[in-house]
Amino acid sequence: MNRIDSRYVTVAACALCTALILSVFIVFPIWVPDWKADFHKGVGDIELIFSGSGVLMALTMAGVGWLLTRTPVWQVVVIGGLVMGGGLILASTLTSYVAFAALYVVTVGIGVAFASSLPCQTLGVRLFPSRVGTIGGVLMVALSIASIILPPFLTQVKDAIGWRSALAATGAALAIIVPLLAIGFMRVPADPGGAGQEKGARGSMGWMVRTAGFWIIVVGAIPMFATPTAVLANITPFLADRGVVHQQASYVISIYTFGALIGSALWGLVADRFGPRLVAALDSILMALLLAALTGVHGLVPSALALVALGVTAGGIHPLLSALVGRQYRDNFAPALGLISLFMLPYMLAPALFGFLRDRTGSYSMTFLSAAAALVAGGLILSRLKAPAPAAGSKEHADATPDHLAASARI
């Protein structure tokens, strides 16, 4: 098999690994009724487990980005798969809510950070350095497909053998499949195609945080991540406000997911073709317009059409963020993306904030319009992103004059 073919196989393994790990993380809601009944806790207590694992994941990703400058990707992924898989197996045996919650949060948070999008996309970018957005889109398409298939499948398994056995089987599958994918297909040469190993990133964390481009990406991207997360979490009560019954709402969610799948494939390709800065700004503004349009729709069909269009814009956020970071930081991709994920952590508060504002105002209209305004502002901020500054420690950085560095970093 020639090198080009092997690189495509590696990217496919990265996509499958990301899809497996993240879809198991996302499928959390199917466990809620069983855990609520078994541990005799309220929904809020159970949802804290999901929030805690998500927060720990974001905190851990900054460290994983640094680790990827010193450790082969396949080794990092193996650790993540074993930690998450083993943690789920052990958690399935626990009867104490506190012990179960603590173990789930720690092992899932660490496992997702170590074995999903950040290391897998880092390897893909090393193989195809000019296709950062496309690689991100491929990973998200795989995740969308897995997110459509896994929930009904795992629900049937859970109903047949009980949630504890189903959780243990899920953990065993991750502990076996993910390391095999990493060992079998991710052990690529140290510097494939001259793409680099983020060598310039060593010792450069402080440099990245001090650049204006870093904060432009963080501030501009937060509304793009917060809005789809909050809309999806609040989609059932929103549709109920629009006269859509609960059973119909489940179909709308599937339609929204299908739209996100299309967006995942589309926006990364467009960003690689025309550049991510203006494409990301356009996506943010389109998302704002669709969110504003949702305030005026009623009934199943208009709501479904607006939401599938919103899903298309939402599907682009991960590939576009990757393209922005790849264009801005090049060989520093892994640590930069990890740090940006850490500073974007407040977006996870959006679902609760949307629900709180809906309860206070009686509808989602004011909430959606406020979010639309934030998206427009974020798009305008992203449009101000300038050409990337040379990486700290790189030849370009050493040759650059102070005036050039100032121009590169200026907003």
* 350 three-state secondary structure: helix
Share of the chain above pLDDT 90, in %: 33
Which sequence spans correspond to the domains of the chain?
A: 3-197, 205-395
Asked if pLDDT for residue 4 goes beyond 70, the answer is no
In CATH terms, are 3-197 and 205-395 the same topology?
yes
User: pLDDT grade, residue 189 (50/70/90)?
Assistant: low
* 405 three-state secondary structure: helix
Most distant CA pair in the chain, distance: 67
Token pair listed for 231: 């809309």
Question: Which phi and psi (to 5°) does residue 319 adopt?
Answer: -60, -40
Tens of pLDDT, residues 104-162:
999 999 999 999 988 998 898 888 888 888 888 888 888 888 877 888 888 889 989 99
CATH topology (fold) of 205-395: Growth Hormone; Chain: A; (1.20.1250)
Distance CA 85, CA 52 (A): 18
Mean pLDDT over each residue of the chain, to the nearest integer: 82
In CATH, 3-197 is 1.20.1250.20: yes
Tens of pLDDT, residues 222-242:
999 888 888 877 777 777 777
Task: Report the candidate in 66, 390, 400 with the shortest Cα–Cα distance to residue 203.
Answer: 66
Token pair listed for 334: 């892994």
- Do 100 and 39 contact (CB within 8 A), yes or no? yes
Share of the chain above pLDDT 70, in %: 86
Radius of gyration of the chain (CA): 21
Average pLDDT (378-397) is: 70
Tally the C-alpha atoms within 13 A of residue 194's C-alpha that lie toward its C-beta. 1
